[in-house]
Structure 1
Amino acid sequence: MSTTSTTTSTAYREIRDAGGRVYRIGESDRDILGGSRLRMVLLPWAAMMGISVAEYAYGSAEETLSSVHHWTTTNTFWLLSVWTVFQAGVAFPAGRLRERGIFSARAAMLTGAVLAGLGFFTLSHAPNLGVAIAGFGVLGGTGAGLVYATCINIVGKWYPERRGAKTGFVNGGFAYGSVPLIFIFTYAFDEGNFAVVLDLVGVYVLVLVAVSGLFFKDPPKNWWPAHIDPLAHGRDRKGSSALLKNPPAVKQFEPAEAIRTGMLPLMWVCLMMTAGVSIFGISFQVPFAKEMGFGPLVVASSMGVMAVVNGTGRAAVGWLSDRIGRKRTLTAVLLILGAAQFGVLWAGDTGNEPLFLAFAFISGFGGGSFYPLFAALVPDYFGENNNASNYGLVYSSKLVGGLAGSGLGAMVIAAWGYHGAYSLAGVIALVAAALSLLLRQPGRERLRDIRPNPQPTSREII
């Protein structure tokens, strides 16, 4: 059976599949947005480019920051750890507020823009480490988290039938958007200009994110593009291949229900482990390259290559996962990430610069590509209506991974050296790959269990 309701002047109907899931069809993106839903890809992508600076360019700025503020290297990377904790930790509470109508997507973006900008202003003028932690770590991290979670969530809502490729593209901006700043922090960031540079970065982040966020708008709950039949999984038509490999969730899971399936906690553990490895590579590849005696061009290029591939790889695996399946793609990416840690270590030990850049390329691919896969897996498994909360729960694992990858990573390096740290990171990623094999969509044991409902009931509303 099916039900209907009216929230706009456009006719729509709600159809229910054999498992009871509701799809709202009939309204086009132009009916709701006044234009193409493509803007809900391009605007989030631009905003993600803006906030990427804090995480991916930080390693290149670390030396100057330590010198200017008289911090130890461990102090500097614990500051990044605090930023990561708040960037990841805000996703779930913000998601719950959005789903209850208390906090709109636009409000989340504008708030995030102000806080993220303030983070850089504080980092520029902080009189001590405590102020820097409060400003950059807490406020800046919270702002970046609001922007990140909102951008990822809104794309999945507007592209429920092709979320892998679209989410991957948007997620990629969070990495390669930092590339210009990586080179600026390496070649043109010193004790004489650091305040001006950081203030300009703060203005750039604030303006780019705020302007993008002004146009954010969520679709109605259960919305599905009218030109795609959500029930025809096996037919030869546009979108059917992606739907067959990654069928829609059997129902809309509340967070507590998603936790009880066991799959959400498993995703949390896998993401926590891989995020830690990824952040470790982002934080310490530049210091490792310097310690191995590589020149500044190779040092900056290795991080630039990592960021570019980290971002473009997200779009590529998103597209690939639409075609061969999200879980299969995720396992392959985690295997690559684990192997790359040993490769970076080997290249550094041998002093081979071309090989180091090659493994930086591979590490960058593995270290970013898993993010959009988890972002797409969550609504695939648990539905779109509560995705802000469900993905917020999964993504919150990054706060643990961030602490391990950056702050604890510095302590491991101090105790075991880079050999021990990179070896441990590689093993952790390989264990995460093994755990990913246990993932399965709740309520649907096998893909061949998918059956279209040939005669759905519906009710039309004008």
Structure 2
Amino acid sequence: MTTAVPSYQEITDQNGRVYRVGESPHDILGRSRSWMVWLPWIAMMAVSVFEYGWGAVVDTLKDKNGWTLTDAFWLASIWAVFQAGIAFPAGRMREKNIVSAKTAMLAGAVLSGIGYVTIAHTSNLFVAFLGYAVCGGTGAGLVYATCINMVGKWYPEKRGARTGFVNGGFAYGAVPFIYIFSAFLTPTNYSVVLDLIGLYMLIVVAICGFLFKDPPKSWWPAEVDPLGWARNKSGNKGLAKNPPAVKQFTPMEAIRTGMLPLMWVCLVIIGGVSLFGINFQVPFAKESGFGPFVAASSAGVLSIVNGTGRAVVGWVSDRIGRRQTLTIVLVIAGLAQFGVMYAGNTKDLPLFMIFAFLTGFGGGAFYPLFASLVPDYFGENYNASNYGLVYSAKLFGGVGGGGLAAGVVSAWGYTGAYILAGCIALLSAVLTLFLRQPGRATPGTTSAADKASSLSPAAEGAG
């Protein structure tokens, strides 16, 4: 009797981290791992209309249903709470094999569809909260978290650009709908239009999710030496600037490093600023006298740049470092708030569009950077939970960028709101300067583990 030889081997580095190598994507998926980039990207585009299309649809809903501005944006805020809040519990269930990626995506497809069908057929604010904010938010959150974690697991050695590309779909996927809402949506046709969008999300996300599959824990592509980067022999610039985590941190271990809570605080702040820009740029443009088409165009520019910027910064972060790129992006996001305010108040249309561009870039590019930093710092095996914890910051950022921001606008006007947004965005940029990879020596020094790597024959021949 013969025993089948495993198609993989486990390599252990000097820190005790295990890398499972030898299995190709075709062995696991039956196809190229690029499918786990394209399918998440398509699904993210399908649900993007929730967040990035709301500012364009809200006027019609207010007129039809008799809602106030505050009512409408509290609806968006509670949607953001559930969209972000589902990430951690869903991640834990996936890591415990209670729920598969496919199941999470199929559930997300159904709940997302319910969200838009609900607001298509009710003017009751309570029902809208249940259907759109709770069900729609949970559905979009399941899709978002599953897609982001999926691409990070399949590309552990070069996740920056690919995570940014997939994440970008969550922004520019809404552009066609922004124009549809602004140009054609009326109280007489909105039910049919919103029903069709709900059906579109259901079908597209369900088809993509049906093909989702996670790699085995600790999986690593066989063609990339997971140990070579430490000896400057890997030839991979991304790994040199963003080395793999020293171990697979559980959520509690990640929290105890202090770095995960710091990421969470940074994301609370900048997440609120981002949602403020998404929600209020169209209303501010209209108040500034730019007209509905220009207002829609500014929102379209914001969404396109928000999405494409995510892919660009992912690529840049692979070359200059994730944390350094994050700080630059947050500074741009902060300064752009002051620019939008000035251009709107002076009714300078070209300048307004320029700063709409910068707001879009700075207000979205940080999301894939956090999504890549978390597995860079804490490993891939518990990434669904660890990133779920960090992304839960949007629970609070969503409230700040929606309902609370509406209150600030009512009390201080758009000028006061944009000044506040700019200041706190710059605070978030300052806080990122304190981020450090747990257990890794800072540049210019050598950790005990790295010394062991260069001195120990066993470490040199591991695997």
Name 2:86's counterpart in structure 1: 90
- 1:295 pairs with one of 280, 291, 295: 291
Indicate yes or no: 2:462 matched with 1:457.
yes
Match of 1:277 among 246, 251, 273: 273
Q: Corresponding residue for 1:3?
A: none
| Correspondent of 1:336 among 332, 335, 359 | 332
Q: In 2, Cα distance between the equivalents of 1:190 and 1:303?
A: 19
One of 310, 314, 322 as aligned partner of 2:318: 322
- 8 Å contact kept, 2:183–2:293: no
Structure 1 residue 457 displacement after superposition: 2.9
Q: 2-side partners of 1:81 and 1:273: how far apart?
A: 15
CA distance in 2, matches of 1:163, 1:63: 39
Q: Distance in 2 between matches of 1:127 and 1:155?
A: 39
- Determine if contact 1:305/1:364 at 8 Å carries over to the other structure: yes
Unaligned runs of 5+ in 1: 1-5
> Aligned runs of 1:50-449 on 2, under 5 Å?
50-233=46-229, 240-447=236-443, 449=446
CA distance in 2, matches of 1:190, 1:264: 45
Write the letter of the residue equivalent to 1:272.
V
What residue in structure 2 maps to residue 29 of structure 1? 25
Closer/same/farther in 2, CA of residues 10 and 239 from structure 1, 3 Å limit: farther
Q: TM-score, normalised by structure 1?
A: 0.96
Q: CA deviation at 1:445?
A: 2.8
1:84 alignment partner AA:
A
Q: Distance in 2 between the 1:455 and 1:395 partners?
A: 37
Quote how far apart the aligned CAs of 1:446 are: 1.4
- Alpha-carbon distance in structure 1 between the residues aligned to 2:328 and 2:429: 8
CA distance in 1 between counterparts of 2:123 and 2:440 reads: 56
Is contact 1:17–1:456 with CA below 8 Å preserved after alignment?
Answer: no
In structure 2, the CA distance between the partners of 1:99 and 1:362, relative to structure 1 (3 Å rule), is: same
- In 2, Cα distance between the equivalents of 1:343 and 1:238? 43
Deviations 1:264-318 (A, max 9, x none): 0000000010000000000000000000100222111100000000000000000
Deviations 1:333-386 (A, max 9, x none): 000000000000010011011110000000000000000000000000000000
Which SS does the other structure have where 1:368 is aligned?
A: coil
> What one-letter code is carried by the residue in structure 2 that aligns with 1:308?
I
Provide runs of 4+ in structure 1 moved above 2 Å. 234-239, 447-458
1:185-217 alpha-carbon deviations (Å, 9 max, x no partner): 000001110000000000011111000000000
- Give distance in 2, aligned partners of 1:333 and 1:207: 35
The Cα RMSD (Å) is 1.4
Q: How many equivalent pairs are there?
A: 452
Is the Cα–Cα contact under 8 Å of residues 228 and 239 in structure 1 kept in the other structure?
A: no
Check conservation: 2:79, 2:137, Cα contact below 8 A.
yes
Q: Distance in 2 between matches of 1:76 and 1:127?
A: 11
TM-score, normalised via structure 2 length: 0.96
Deviation at 1:234, TM superposition (A): 5.5
What amino acid is the match of 2:272? G
Q: 1:127, CA displacement in angstroms?
A: 3.8
- Give me the whole-angstrom Cα distance separating, in 2, the residues matched to 1:27 and 1:447: 33
State the distance in 2 between where 1:291 and 1:240 align.
Answer: 50
- Cα pair 2:112 2:136 within 8 Å, conserved: yes
Inter-CA distance 29–189: structure 2 relative to 1 (3 Å threshold): same
* Distance across 2 between alignment mates of 1:446 and 1:216: 37
* Distance verdict in 2 for CA 1:204–1:457, change over 3 Å: same
Distance 1:388 1:289 in 2: 38
Aligned with 1:11: secondary structure? Answer: coil
